[in-house]
Structure 1
């Protein structure tokens, strides 16, 4: 009887001791959906975030990155995350433009926000709070910035375009908000997958196309089938890529882990800005040294783009509360930036 009591007492003490020890958290293994078939946004940006997430959580959160189309439709990544097929994504919010045009403001459009201004607005001007609230309320996912988009090339074109008159009737491949605004400015817009642009340019199905920054455009070969490289990329002067998280998966994290993932996104934004900005310098230098003709848009055309963009923005804001909120925030921020040039030297300016 004594031995039974002793054993029972020992077992009770062991249970009490085990209960007092810290519980070892189970590793969290997530799948990341993306729209990217390859290239820097997959191999560099998405995987950089995944690496930072693992490091900052001390190995508790591990993310496997999948290329576009693997876990669901490449342009339906938000649905893939919301349904739980993937717990997280690396995505472009503008792919959801058809659901709510506010996506264009958060992705970047012909508003004049540069990559540097986008980062300032996001992290110091209230943008990131609006971004997360919008995604959660309208789309039912958690989302925050994960990469910076550089200034795009305005056009790879077989026709020389400098003025608004040159733009009239131009058969232009584009998408999203710019497709609407460019049509209002007189272009004949065509929406097609990126994989079809080269052939369409080569065969004359389209006159011109916009796609990405110099780094992203270089491997496409657009410069080989379109003589003119037209600048600046006023239609997409900067932007953001996002990470989206399934709400249930997010709620299963500790507050510390949620903060760590947001920090991983912020670090990835900075890292992508460094890498892509430097890569763009080299890629553009090769364009300058090549056989293409570099064309600068006439200032009057740039003014016309801004004017039409503002009219488009006002129309959208009139009947979309979220669009109005984000637009007002961005316009207030841009107004605060008007003194920047009074005390900052221009980036890339020649020193004395």
Structure 2
């Protein structure tokens, strides 16, 4: 190659490198974000999802996008997480949407609708039934962008200091419960209390409350509820497959490079599946330990379930009449739920029913 041609080629190559380098640098900026969890570190599965997200985002970006998780209360309390993310105090929160029910009942439906979905159906609605887009239309009004980043599976009905055999036994019962489920139980005569996880045990111990629901055997054992309330009821009909959300400040989300948005979405999706798998793996042994230590397992009676189902639909109608965002979301949930159970009764229910009976036969 002649000297002039070589120099021309070298100049072109250098120019293209000069253009490409800033473009790459722009798409992979160095960021340090704070993520406030709604849960204490002692609950390693539900809090641990925040650590999982931070780990995979860091590894996927060669450490350029750093997310530092904080446990509940380390920056703000759990009841303040949504506001703190929305106003930019922190960039992200990992929490239950229904904790912010007091701001708008529609927040409840981001976590779970009483007598709504199981975990698989919840994910189907969010990912492929328009649920996540519908919720984000609502969240945007609070400067939030949300995505599913955890699921506990169907939860337990909670710990009770006395037996609950009939609807009448719920009269005046003070129970720790979050979201729209509290409105349902209030219709049945209970007195709902919204208490953070860390305050449940002392409230039960002192008799300030008569009952409390949290998640399931693995977490409930850690929190020691069996020591102060002997009766463990199931199922938690208000949380058939509740999502834990990753909330991101909406303005910050829009500023993120597309590559970072994709990485964050993927990390949250992994955390969503990982949390459910961990609970499914850990709950059986925890339940055995609780029962071995004297916990008395009880199902809610058919009478209570039917009354709660009726009360739930009344609540949905009442709130929908006043709140267009809620109506839009609950109508979508009901329609998708009905289609899902058309399929699940054929496949999952038939299979699971046979296997449960086969297990009982030994």
TM-score by length of 2: 0.87
Query: How far apart are 1:97 and its partner, in Å?
Result: 0.8
Would you say the 8 A contact 2:32–2:66 is kept in 1?
yes
How does 1:208-247 map onto structure 2 within 5 Å?
A: 208-247=211-250
Corresponding residue SS for 1:230:
strand
1:113 matches 2:112: no
1:32 matches 2:35: yes
- Of 129, 135, 139 in structure 2, the residue corresponding to residue 131 of structure 1 is 135
Residue of structure 2 equivalent to 1:85: 89
The 2-side partners of 1:336 and 1:111 are apart by 14
Corresponding residue SS for 1:172:
strand
Would you say the 8 A contact 1:200–1:206 is kept in 2?
yes
Query: How far apart are 1:96 and its partner, in Å?
Result: 1.4
Query: How far apart are 1:101 and its partner, in Å?
Result: 0.3
Deviations 1:73-124 (A, max 9, x none): 3321122222222222212111211111011111114224212221121112
Query: How far apart are 1:18 and its partner, in Å?
Result: 5.5
Deviations 1:270-326 (A, max 9, x none): 111111121112211222322121111111210111110011011111121111111
Residue of structure 2 equivalent to 1:140: 143
Q: 1:61 to 1:307 in 2, by over 3 A?
A: same
Q: Which moved more, 1:336-345 or 1:316-325?
A: 336-345
1:332 matches 2:335: yes
Corresponding residue SS for 2:356:
coil
1:65 matches 2:64: no
Deviations 1:139-174 (A, max 9, x none): 112111111123222121111012212222222222
Would you say the 8 A contact 1:109–1:238 is kept in 2?
no
User: Unmatched 5+ residue regions in structure 2?
Assistant: 1-10
The 1-side partners of 2:289 and 2:66 are apart by 38
Corresponding residue SS for 1:236:
coil
Residue of structure 1 equivalent to 2:3: none
How does 1:126-275 map onto structure 2 within 5 Å?
A: 126-136=130-140, 138-275=141-278
Residue of structure 2 equivalent to 1:8: none
User: Unmatched 5+ residue regions in structure 1?
Assistant: 1-11
The 2-side partners of 1:323 and 1:244 are apart by 19
Residue of structure 2 equivalent to 1:283: 286
Q: 1:343 to 1:43 in 2, by over 3 A?
A: closer
Would you say the 8 A contact 1:174–1:209 is kept in 2?
yes
Aligned pairs, how many?
341
The 2-side partners of 1:173 and 1:305 are apart by 17
Query: How far apart are 1:30 and its partner, in Å?
Result: 1.2
- Of 91, 102, 107 in structure 2, the residue corresponding to residue 103 of structure 1 is 107
Q: 1:233 to 1:17 in 2, by over 3 A?
A: closer
The 2-side partners of 1:316 and 1:162 are apart by 29
1:349 matches 2:356: yes
Deviations 1:15-56 (A, max 9, x none): 846523422333222111222222225642111111222234
Residue of structure 1 equivalent to 2:304: 301
The 2-side partners of 1:90 and 1:191 are apart by 18
Residue of structure 1 equivalent to 2:7: none
The 1-side partners of 2:165 and 2:64 are apart by 53
Q: Which moved more, 1:304-313 or 1:148-157?
A: 148-157
Residue of structure 2 equivalent to 1:20: 19
Q: Which moved more, 1:156-165 or 1:285-294?
A: 285-294
